[in-house]
Structure formats: C-alpha cells, structure tokens
Amino acid sequence: MRKLGIAFVLLFFASSIVFARDWLPVNKLELDVQDVYTYAFDGTATDIPIEVIGAPSRTVLVITTKDKAAEIPRITNGRIGWHTVNGIDTTVYLSPAFDLEQGSRTVSWPGTDDDGAALPSGEYYYYVWGFDYVNTEVKAVPRVVAGWHGAGVLTEDQDGVPLDRPIFHSDYYFGGVYDGESVTPDFKTGDYFKWQIGDDPYNLELMESCFLPPPDPEWAAKTAKGVFVPGNYNEIIRFEGSAGIETLYKYLWNPNDIGEVISDWGTDLRWTYPGGGDTGGIDADGTYIFMVNYEYSKTDCNAYVMVADFDGYKVADVFLEDQDKAAYVEEHEDILRVGGPLFIDVSPEGHIAHSGIWCLAMLSDINRYLESGEYDDFVLGINEEGDGLADKGWSDDNPAPDYCNAEDPPWLYDIAACKYDFVIRPTAFYGPVSFVVNTPDQTGIDYFALAGEDAGRSGTIPLESGTAYDGLYIDNSWYGSDASEDRDGSWFIGMGSDKGVIKPTTSVEAAAPAAFAVAQNTPNPCNPTTTINFTIPEAGNITVDIFNVAGQKVDTLVNDFMDAGTQSVVWDGSSNSSGVYFYTVTSGEFSKTMKMTLLK
C-alpha cells in the first residue's frame, strides 16, 4: 500500500510538471450579438444587446450598408478627400467607445447615421469590436514578436484541418534571454522561429528554428515574415534582395539546423525598381503570395504590390496609383517624410491589408483586380489619415493639411488584418497609445491604449480561428527597448468581435395580420420540454427555429407544409444548457420571435 502511495505521489508530481508547461489565456474575451436585431427605423435611440464573456471590453459599435458594395462607386471623403471607398459596404455610423463589464450588456445606437440623420429603413450590418482594457498583457510566445516586418500564424495543419494550438512564426525578434535582471540578445539575423501556442513561453527548449541564409552572399539576411507552403510545412518562401532588386526564394525547412534553397523554384520571380526601396515581408491567401515594395524618397512615392503563385510564377505587379503623389511631396518636402505601403497582411476574408511606414492604410481585393485588370477594382478602401488619426500633420495650420507624412510622430510600423476586415495599426512614440483601429472600409475609429501603456507598440498579431487561444498578440513595449525587464516575444491581451444584421421591425411583427399569432410557450420557464402554439392565416411552409442569446440557431422544430389554423410543436431542451432562448415562427412573409427560459 505504501509503494502504491509513493508511486501515486510521483505520478502526480510528474503530471503536475507536464501540466505546468502549458499556457492558456485566463482573460480570453468573446463578444456575442444577435444574428438579427429588429428596429423601427423611426430615428429614436435603441440599446442593442451584447454578451461580454471572459473579460471586460472597451467596445465600439459600427453600422455599415449591407450587400450594397456593387452599387458604391469610387468615392473620396475625409477632410481633403484622402479617405477612399470603392465597391465595399461603407460605414454609416461609428459609436464612441463603451466600457463594458462581463455579462449581458447593451451598446447604444441613436438610430441615426454619423451626421445625426435618421437612416432609411432597410437592412444594415452591425459589428462590435473590443479589447480587454483592464487586464495587462501576459507573455505567450517567446522570440516570435509582433512588429516591424510582421509575424505569421498557421491555423491549420498541412491537410487543412484546424489546429487547436496554432503555430506562430517569424524570423526576427527583439530582446533575448531574460535572467531576472537584464536581457541578453541571443539571435542572429536570418534565424527563423516556430512556436506552438500553449507551450510554456519561458521554456526556450520548445522553440523550433531554422537559419535561412541569403542565396546571394552579397545580400544581407532579411528580417521579415515568410510563408509556409500550403500542404507542405517543410518548405517556406521568403523574399531576399538588395538595392531595388527583390526576389522570392523557397527554402527546405530543416528543424534546428540550416535551411536549403530549392534552386529550381521561382526562376521568374525578380522585380527591379529604379528608385530602390524596401519590402516589408510577404503574406499569402492559400492561392497567391503577396509582397509590397515602396520607393522611399521625398520625390518618389511609388509603391507596388507584387503577386506570385506557389508554383513560382509571377501573376501580377500592381502599381499603386494612389501613392503616386510626387508633385505634392516635392511642393512640401521641407515638412514631409515619405513612406509608401511597407507592411502587408491578409485578412480572414481574403483581402490584402497593406500600410505605409508612417500612416497610410489600404485594403485591396486581388481577385477582383485579376478578373478585370483595372486598378480601381484592386482598391476597396484607403485611409491616408483624412480622419486625423495617426498623424500630427493633419491640423489646419499645417501648410499641407491632412497629408499623411509629417516629420513628427506618431509613427506606425505594422498592419494587422482582423476578422470582418477590421484593421489594427500599432502606434509608437505618441505617449500612452497602443494602436489605431479602422473599420472594414478603413474609416478610422480612434486611438486605443492597453492598461498601463506608456510608450506605444510596434506590432500586433490577431488570432481569430475559434480556439481557446483567440485574442490579440502584441509586442511588450516599443521594440522591447527596456532591457531591465522581460520584453521578449509576443504577449496576449483579450480581443473579440461579432457581426449581425439590423432589420426593420415591420418585416417581422408589424406586418403580420391579426390572423397570424404566436403564443407564449407553456410552461415557461420549462424543464426540459415546452409547447409552442401559433396560428397561421393560410396553408404554406412553416419554420420554427430556436436560438440562443448569442443569436446562434440551436434547433429547428419545423420546416414543413402546414394547414391554416392553430398549430403546436414541442421543444425538448434536454441537450441544451440552462438559460434564455428565443423561438421564431415564420409563415411566408410573416414572422415573430418570442423569448423563453430553460431551467434545469
């Protein structure tokens, strides 16, 4: 018996050691709204329900047009027309930030657009986006740092199966090994790192790396994000180059060793730019590889997006006409600093977000461009800081008001594309500011600060793949410049978003004649069964659906032909958890939703 007890203690101790290695975010934030919210469109204020789960949230409400992209031509607005929308649903209302505690909350909408006018009755998308503004960030990933030329995340395995623990990767990090007093750098440029989220971020033995030497000895090793080949994570594609020559190369990944160039790939992939310039990393959407280049001088603002496929062939070379502002820059060169799109990230929606080193943000659609060959079809939204965010040069007394590139900070060194095409731009050297956020059409929302912010940030990595690790990963202060603290790697903070549709109330309840009726379920509360009675004016197809408080459908009781008159169905909630639910009965053009409670 004693031996068994000792064995149990040893087994428990060993299991505890293994378990202690794991890291899991404690304050993971989720925001949930109803799939459909009905409103009378009478210009009165309304409170839209929202569930805040896991952490407090500084939350904004964004309302846009719905399915109107094809009707929206290229439009410029902002202070001097430097905000552009083109074939994308546009922002009609942007709320101030709401500080929401966990639980069932609401966000207020005055029922108007941003100018205070009542919105025409119709259907609109509404979004909520928020971050944990109370808790401080927690170290999650060593070495792989969000910032400068970016970092990537693998959310699926080689067979396309979603990963429960995504893999972060990057080739450059700031900081090193922290011994409790100082940080000792321990990397060389050209090292590339992979880290599976959930491992102990202080155990560097779990890090996998590969040194990727430049193919040409005349070139310095690059410091930028690479792309692993879909279906074969033993191969990684990177850009290399020097003096205006940029080339993509494929490497064989040798874990914890030196990578090998695959010489018979990408022989056509070389771009030359007479004005020189630089490239800010690459990204991919599973079909194409994207790279951005810009020529940085005060008279040359030319910028390009280069597109290749995974077979190693050029697909397109898009000259960004919106950045060709050499004449304007030359006129004001004494006060302006130039930087075209340098950073790039592909959103979960497959759109390209790219940015300038100082403040431009642009969202593009490569598939639309490839279909037409027209530059205007490439552009979805551009923010050249006509909103006055992320630029000190916007004021009226500036000789070049609203021009993006002022000499003084704030400066932005990265771009992160989030779900629904929200864009985050980390902000540096502007006091207690962490980042700027743009809506899907690139309307600037506001500056935001994490708890305890003091110096700004250089990069962010949004993870939104439906795992326990979803959130925002951010560098811990500007480039980890304070060597007296642990600043290495990427740090977790809660972030969440959700989307629904606003529909006119008249399309649901007010349009129903007296003959159409839905009664309150009985019993209510129920455990676990309840009866739903309803009356329909004429025979036809009837649906009865059950939704949870997040607006997610959990059951369909009826989807069939029924005769006119009073009908009833029974819901068995035994497989559902206790809480508030909604049932919707639909008969042709008539529909009604009622609330019920399940108690167990």
**What residue ranges do the domains of the chain occupy?**
30-132, 138-488, 510-598
Tell whether the model's pLDDT for residue 122 goes beyond 70.
yes
User: CA 562, CA 547: separation in Å to the nearest integer?
Assistant: 22
What is the mean predicted confidence (pLDDT) over 562-579? 88
Give residue 525's pLDDT band: very low, low, confident or very high (50, 70, 90): confident
**Any bridge partners for residue 47, and if so which?**
108
Q: How far apart are CA 185 and CA 450, in angstroms?
A: 27
For the segment 59-75, the average pLDDT, to the nearest whole number, is 92
Average pLDDT for the chain? 80
CATH 1.20.120 fits 30-132, yes or no: no
pLDDT in tens, 571-592: 999 888 888 888 999 998 888 8
Average pLDDT value for residue range 111-122? 90
Average pLDDT score over residue span 271-300: 72
Instruction: Check pLDDT > 80 for residue 52.
Output: yes
* Average pLDDT estimate for 170-178: 58
495-504 and 36-39 strand pairing? parallel
Per-residue pLDDT tens digits for 428-466: 766 678 888 999 998 888 889 999 887 778 788 999 999
Percent of the residues in the chain that have a pLDDT greater than 90, as a whole number: 41
- pLDDT band (50, 70, 90) for residue 73: confident
Q: Give the pLDDT of residue 293.
A: 74
- What distance in Å separates the CA atoms of residue 199 and residue 115, rounded to the nearest whole number? 49
Between 128 and 427, the higher pLDDT residue = 128
- Mean pLDDT of all residues in 331-353: 70
- Whether 488 shows a pLDDT value over 80: the answer reads no
510-598 under CATH 2.60.40.3080, yes or no: yes
pLDDT tens-digit map of 28-44? 999 999 999 999 998 89
Domains 30-132 and 510-598 share a fold: yes
Q: CA nearest 142: which of 99, 202, 92, 183?
A: 202
The pLDDT confidence band at residue 4, using thresholds 50, 70 and 90, is very low
Tens digit of pLDDT for each residue in 477-486? 654 444 445 6
Q: What DSSP string describes 172-187?
A: --S--EE-SS-EE---
Cis amide linkage into residue 410, ω under 30° from 0: yes
Which residue has tokens 């980890």? Answer: 480
Please give the C-alpha separations between residue 388 and each of 305, 370, 433, 444, 566, in angstroms, as whole numbers: 26, 33, 15, 8, 59
CATH code of the domain occupying 138-488: 2.120.10
What residues form DSSP beta bridges with 41? none
Mean pLDDT of the 199-224 span: 80
Give the integer Cα–Cα distance in Å for 543 and 565.
15
State residue 323 phi and psi, 5-degree precision: -100, 0
Higher-pLDDT residue of 501, 593: 501
Q: What percentage of the chain carries pLDDT values higher than 70?
A: 74
What's this model's pTM, rounded to 2 decimal places?
0.77
